[in-house]
Structure 1
Amino acid sequence: MLGVARGYGYEQVDPPLAEFADELSARLKAGGLRDAVRFVDPVSQRTLAIRPDLTAQVGRIAATRMGHHPRPVRLSYAGPVLKLSASELDPLRSMRQIGCELIGLDTVAAATEVVQVAIEALQAAGVTGLSVDFTLPDLVDTLAADAPDLELLRERLDAKDAGGVAALDSRYLPLIEAAGPFDTAMARLRAIDSGALSSRLDGLAKIAAAIAGQAALTLDPTERHGFEYQSWLGFSLFASGVRGEIGRGGSYTIIHGDGREEAAVGFSLYADPILDAGLGDSERRRLFLPFGTPSGLGARLREEGWATVSALEEDDT
């Protein structure tokens, strides 16, 4: 998977497992350290956080050590994460993440590249029957910015509570009905759009066109669960034969130390369900070298990609 990312120019970074919570939580505009395990550092007496997700750490690296680099910056990563709590849909608290972040842009072109890299990385791991479920995380905020009960409206749309939405404002009922296969959902959204969504719907259509035929596409425009820090675009990844969600991504905003905001887009893949399905484990090419095998032969075999296991005694087998 990381090999695919390298092919697109993403350089791997390796953030620490825990960081000072106040510094890490300040790097994403929203939701950066939600569900993090926190504890007090006995040396500094400051609160440390074990990362529940690697995105905020990559954002910190891009904003500090790589703040002077020309944009966009392309970074990849792999490592364990730990969440404070689990859910029925996501029962694992500890998992391994692999992902990419493109920092400096959240344009349609940038988002298209990121979705394409995610799909190719999964295909390289042997994952088939891919499905991409798109969402527009800030859709409700855009359409209902002046609504007096905005938070309640969000909650009822999240719950797909048609009666509750109708009681607040029936104009938003079509958003619930818009969820489904991508083309059908887009047609329903365009039918109710007065122009406020035209640019983002056009952008989403371009992303979908770029990956057409590589995955089944669906759209749930009001889905926000797990997309707390995403902005105009979010997506989840699923595959046949693999249980549950295998990745997610979208656009978001990084906050620099001086308060400056920077757009970004990226994705995280979850290695555990992929490995549990018997995928992603590359073929192991190993050779046993009998005792006394010339070192030059072993070196040549390793250059050819073999892992060599040398006998250390004459009767080793």
Structure 2
Amino acid sequence: MTNPDDLLPEGLEDRLPTEARAVSRAMRQILDVMDAHGYDRVSPPLVEFEKSLAGRMVGGNDGTTARRMFRFVDPVSLRMLAVRSDMTPQIGRIAATGLAAAARPLRLCYGGEVALVRADQLDPARQRLQLGAELIGSDTVAAAAEMIALAIEALEGAGAKGISVDFTLPDLVDILAKKALPLAPERIAQVRRELDTKDAGGLALVPGGAAYMPLLYATGPFDEAIARLFEIDAGGALASRIAGLKQIAERVAERARLTLDPTERHGFEYQSWFGFTIYADGVRGAVGRGGTYAIGGTDEPATGFSLYIDAMIGALKASPAADILFLPLGHDRDVAARLRAIGWRTREALSGNDDAEALGCTHRLDGREPTAL
């Protein structure tokens, strides 16, 4: 019978051996890919002063993001601390302080746990493993193309299959509203909202909103959607962005399915001209999101992405477990060490009653060689 005191809070769960092994392996493979491309890993603390952490986060100035973080008083400094809910702002702080004098563009990667006070309806988890990479000092087309290619390769290295990438243009309405499709400043947020919900009727009711109706249909497979977006581009206001999207797509077109939803803003509230969401076969919801943005506090341009591989656990743990070698009493320890060095996992008998199969072993060490059970 389960002790009520042993129950975990809503949105938190243990990772048992199979899941923990799959996640650890995927994390290691993803970070290895980033390292191979010259991204240096940094490891910020789990807890920081709330003011510093929230000040570099989206909504930090109005308290929106701060309310998503677990907060408590530091008994040493008597200042408010917070548990990070996103590692990206911490990377920005590191770039602006300890690595302020480092050459740009600066390539950094990271991996660690984050926690949320409340999760969203689509993902009830309140503790997540976040991995990512940031290219700081550049938000160019070349930087965006490098980020997407890196994210795809990292996920492939972790075992993801059938990767697809959905592009968006977070500042699309702002750009068009200036001249091409004029909107009163107070109407911009309304048009964004109706485009977010794909509500043609609501969009038509907003003064000036009807002109944005064609954007609702510039979605779908990339080649078709970008052609429709080009037709909408009155006066060439989006010419540079369309050219940039085509250049980015060209780099990764053979490695992933590409789609375009130029008005999608969920999860892209602070990105500038470009954003993307990554999906994989067999995984519910997005496995990653990224784009171009300005670092809070310094406004230094950057391009990056975050991967949340918890959603991939179901697919990852389906991979076969590694063989385990049972080491009986009195075995040759030098032989066991040699076998571990070439990749064997071992479990050593502590008594004559230990049963190799009951302990999950697949092989037994007989003399100097493993024998299948």
TM-score, with structure 2 as normaliser: 0.77
Tell me the distance in 1 between the aligned counterparts of 2:260 and 2:318. Answer: 27
Tell me the distance in 2 between the aligned counterparts of 1:280 and 1:199. Answer: 44
Does residue 195 in structure 1 map to residue 233 in structure 2?
A: no
* Equivalent of residue 180 in structure 1, options 202, 211, 220: 220
Tell me the distance in 2 between the aligned counterparts of 1:303 and 1:66. Answer: 37
Does the aligned pair in 2 maintain the 1:125–1:279 contact within 8 Å? Answer: no
Kindly report which structure 2 residues correspond to 1:124-135, keeping only aligned pairs within 5 A, or say none.
124-135=157-168
Does residue 77 in structure 1 map to residue 110 in structure 2?
A: yes
Does the aligned pair in 2 maintain the 1:127–1:279 contact within 8 Å? Answer: no
| Deviation readout 1:64-83 (Å, 9 max, x if unpaired) | 11112111221211111122
Q: What's 2:343 paired with?
A: 305
Tell me the distance in 2 between the aligned counterparts of 1:304 and 1:59. Answer: 40
Helix, strand or coil for the counterpart of 1:9? Answer: coil
Helix, strand or coil for the counterpart of 2:249? Answer: helix
Helix, strand or coil for the counterpart of 2:274? Answer: strand
Count residues in correspondence.
Answer: 313
Task: Return 16-25 or 140-149, whichever deviates more.
Answer: 140-149
The amino acid across from 2:217 in the alignment is: E
Q: Which runs of 5+ in 1 are unaligned?
A: none
Helix, strand or coil for the counterpart of 2:114? Answer: strand
The offset of 1:38, in angstroms, is 3.7
The amino acid across from 2:111 in the alignment is: A
Kindly report which structure 2 residues correspond to 1:140-289, keeping only aligned pairs within 5 A, or say none.
140-145=173-178, 147-148=184-185, 149-168=187-206, 169=208, 170-193=210-233, 194-256=235-297, 260-279=298-317, 283-289=321-327
Does residue 40 in structure 1 map to residue 72 in structure 2?
A: yes
Tell me the distance in 2 between the aligned counterparts of 1:280 and 1:203. Answer: 38
Helix, strand or coil for the counterpart of 1:242? Answer: coil
Tell me the distance in 2 between the aligned counterparts of 1:173 and 1:300. Answer: 67
**Structure showing greater relative contact order (alpha-carbon pairs closer than 8 Å, 6 or more residues apart):** 1
User: Once the two structures are aligned, what percentage of the paired residues are identical?
Assistant: 52
Does the aligned pair in 1 maintain the 2:89–2:296 contact within 8 Å? Answer: no
Q: What's 2:150 paired with?
A: 117
Q: What's 1:92 paired with?
A: 125
TM-score, with structure 1 as normaliser: 0.90
Tell me the distance in 1 between the aligned counterparts of 2:184 and 2:80. Answer: 38
The amino acid across from 2:202 in the alignment is: G
| Deviation readout 1:12-56 (Å, 9 max, x if unpaired) | 22222221121122335x446726224231423323222221111
The offset of 1:110, in angstroms, is 1.2
| Deviation readout 1:117-141 (Å, 9 max, x if unpaired) | 1111111222111111111111111
Q: What's 1:138 paired with?
A: 171
Does the aligned pair in 1 maintain the 2:104–2:136 contact within 8 Å? Answer: yes
Helix, strand or coil for the counterpart of 1:52? Answer: coil
Helix, strand or coil for the counterpart of 1:144? Answer: helix
Relative to its length, the structure with more strand (as a share) is 1
The offset of 1:289, in angstroms, is 3.0
The amino acid across from 2:253 in the alignment is: A
Q: Which runs of 5+ in 2 are unaligned?
A: 1-29, 357-373
Helix, strand or coil for the counterpart of 1:165? Answer: helix
The amino acid across from 1:240 in the alignment is: D
| Deviation readout 1:82-124 (Å, 9 max, x if unpaired) | 2232233233222111211111111111111111111111112
Does residue 25 in structure 1 map to residue 54 in structure 2?
A: yes
Q: What's 2:362 paired with?
A: none
The offset of 1:285, in angstroms, is 4.8
The amino acid across from 2:193 in the alignment is: E
Q: What's 1:12 paired with?
A: 41
Tell me the distance in 1 between the aligned counterparts of 2:136 and 2:339. Answer: 40
Helix, strand or coil for the counterpart of 2:322? Answer: coil
Helix, strand or coil for the counterpart of 2:184? Answer: coil
The offset of 1:152, in angstroms, is 1.5
Helix, strand or coil for the counterpart of 1:105? Answer: coil
Tell me the distance in 1 between the aligned counterparts of 2:345 and 2:305. Answer: 32
